[in-house]
Amino acid sequence: MSEGCAPSEAESFWWEVCVLTREAAWEAVSEALRSAGADGVRAEAVPGDGGAMRVCAYVLPHGREGEGEDAFAAFLADVRAGLGRIERAFAELGLDAGPLHVSSREVREADWAEAWKAFFVPLFLGKTFVVVPPWRDVPPEAEGRHVLRIDPGMAFGTGHHPSTALAVELLEATRVFGARVLDVGTGSGILALAACALGAQEVLAVDVDPLAVRVARENVAAAGVSARARVVEGDLLNPARERVEAGAPPFDLLLANLLLEPILRLLPEASEVLAPEGALILSGVLRSERETLEASLAASGFAVRAVREREGWVGVLAARAPALRSLP
């Protein structure tokens, strides 16, 4: 922990853990921090040091099992284990991941809530979207695009990560109008809102993190699409399965911007919640994991219709039948 005046017990605070890395590795470091249990992650260039990046994770103390220093030590151990894997993988490829130096301190929630906003600027996403935080104006050059007003809070989903961009691009290339859409691991709700903008008649957005559920509900309400998009807390396909078992129509499209492991867990059961000609858009998978993903898709009865890659990440459109057109 950093030295200095600690917040009072009555004041909410976060643990901040920052990793010094290089531009080539910052996304992998971000994923390592999220996998360790970070509630939010931001990245920034280090001034005056070309190519150096600082990636910082933020964790609520009560969000970890254990108490105080023990929980923090467990989080740091998970982070360092993830960084070790990154260092070895980059060394094998002859790439520089940087020093991967770890520093930590306590941050008052009010200070963090304002500081991170400076890093969230309007982002052009795909061919038809622009993501704009509520505290910024829509840029004039965004005319004609769908505006996604996203306040991510501490949830994943500003649109800046390549996996989100890949999912949006595949969504744009898919027939969404009139579809029933399931968004698993919704985070800030960005993909659910994108589906609504493209004309989905119904969206069920699911996340296991209650903080993400709260943030996504706020974004859905602010967008005025609460009549079509519902956000619920739950694990992977459980809420969708309960809905279908209760007699509701199955989904036409399943979105999952997750890591490989949860995607592999949901694939064998995806057919239980999808219409006979339903489709999947999957993202959050590394290029090195593509073969594993495609093998699991085939074993689960899905055929790959399109694949896109960006900065080492892979997005896949797969379907049980050609109900949704593939990319041109």
- In CATH terms, 13-116 corresponds, of 3.40.190.10, 3.40.50.960, 3.20.110.10, 3.30.70.120, to 3.30.70.120
**Model confidence, pTM:** 0.70
What pLDDT does 119 receive? 63
What type of residue sits at position 276? P
Buried b (16+ CB within 10 A) or exposed e, 163-201: bbbbbbbbbbbbebeebbbbbbbbbbbbbbbbbbbbebe
Q: Are 156 and 120 in contact (CB under 8 A)?
A: no
What pLDDT does 109 receive? 64
What pLDDT does 94 receive? 86
**Residues of the binding site for S-adenosyl-L-methionine:** 164, 185, 207, 257
Give average pLDDT by consecutive 10-residue segment, the chain, 328 residues: 31 82 87 83 76 84 59 89 92 89 83 64 91 90 94 69 92 96 95 98 94 92 97 96 96 95 95 96 92 96 95 91 44
What pLDDT does 9 receive? 39
The yes/no answer on whether domain 120-320 falls in CATH 3.40.50.150 is yes
**Residues of the binding site:** 164, 185, 207, 257
What pLDDT does 144 receive? 95
What pLDDT does 110 receive? 62
Structure tokens at 199: 């004309």
Q: Where in the chain is the domain with CATH 3.40.50.150?
A: 120-320
Q: Where in the chain is the domain with CATH 3.30.70.120?
A: 13-116
What pLDDT does 247 receive? 96
What pLDDT does 7 receive? 33
Structure tokens at 81: 């284990």
What pLDDT does 134 receive? 87
Q: What is the Cα Rg of the chain in Å?
A: 20
